[in-house]
Amino acid sequence: MTPNEINATLFELWDKYGDPVKDRYVPLVCGQPTQGGLVFVGFNPPFSDEGWVSLIKKWRETAKKPVNPKRFFRWHPGMRLGDFDVPLALEIAAYARRHFAFFRPYRDLAANLNMEWEYLNLFAYQSARQADAEARLFKKPVYLHELNEFGARQVELFRELLPLTRPRVVIVASGLAGHVYRKHWKPTFSQDDGCYFDRIGEVSVPIFFSGMLTGQRASDVIARDRLHGQVARALGRQWPPPQ
């Protein structure tokens, strides 16, 4: 599938399975992903009022078009992809990755390894709290983490999207995303290399699982340094931890 076909299917899913009261935002759309670099994988895109206020304030200094995030991303029953300004959404997403503090650890690791990077989410469901996303994506009881049809269809689309990145390394930076990934992809652990491997497209790719790299539940500096060192080793590179 192409990114545009994935986006169109997401809008169809939102219309079929969505609850207009709970599904307040459109699915996170994707563009043509960066290829041949590090790919970070999160659980779902957070919709933070505080984060958006900070980001849009910077955006207005350079943007040609003002944006009210809650209004722009608002889902309306019956919407199709053509009803949404995809180019503007992708422009905002690219700006966020360059400037939003949430993405700083990803930018830093890629810069230190002199590599390109991409960030994907297993699920396109935008929410202010991960618990809200879990309630919409998993069957009850939620703590068993069994995907419902709405969640399972999004994982199928992620399976189409990930190979488009042609990743050198995949870093699943979320405990819950890691649980879902291991269950549905079943990567193989290599004792010699100290990491998992998964066949993505035609290539066997190192897969690393970690806690979140940003936010209140982020991994500590020592754990992050250890992850960086392991990723560098998988790429045959040196990792000089910061002094």
- Domain borders along the chain are 3-234
Query: How would DSSP label each residue in 110-146?
Result: HHHTT--EEEEES----BSSHHHHHHHHBPSSGGG--
Q: What is the mean pLDDT of residues 39-45?
A: 96
Amino acid identity at 156: E
Query: How would DSSP label each residue in 172-186?
Result: EE-HHHHHHHHHHH-
Torsion of CA 120, 126, 132, 138, to 10 degrees: -50
- pLDDT attached to residue 62: 64
- pLDDT attached to residue 117: 97
pLDDT tens digits for range 44-100: 998 877 777 777 777 666 665 678 888 889 998 889 999 999 999 998 889 888 888
pLDDT tens digits for range 12-28: 999 999 877 777 899 99
For the chain, give the mean pLDDT: 88
Query: How would DSSP label each residue in 47-91?
Result: --HHHHHHHHHHHHHH-SS---HHHHTB--TT--GGGS-HHHHHH
Number of Cβ within 10 Å of residue 94's Cβ equals: 11
Amino acid identity at 7: N
- pLDDT attached to residue 211: 79
| 168 pLDDT above the threshold of 60 | yes
CATH 3.40.470 fits 3-234, yes or no: yes
pLDDT over 70 percentage in the chain: 91
Of 61-65, 172-176, 184-188, least confident by mean pLDDT is 61-65
Distance CA 171, CA 165 (A): 13
Residues 6+ apart with CB under 8 A from 140: none
Q: Distances in Å between the alpha carbon of 195 and those of 36, 63, 233?
A: 19, 42, 10
- pLDDT attached to residue 226: 82
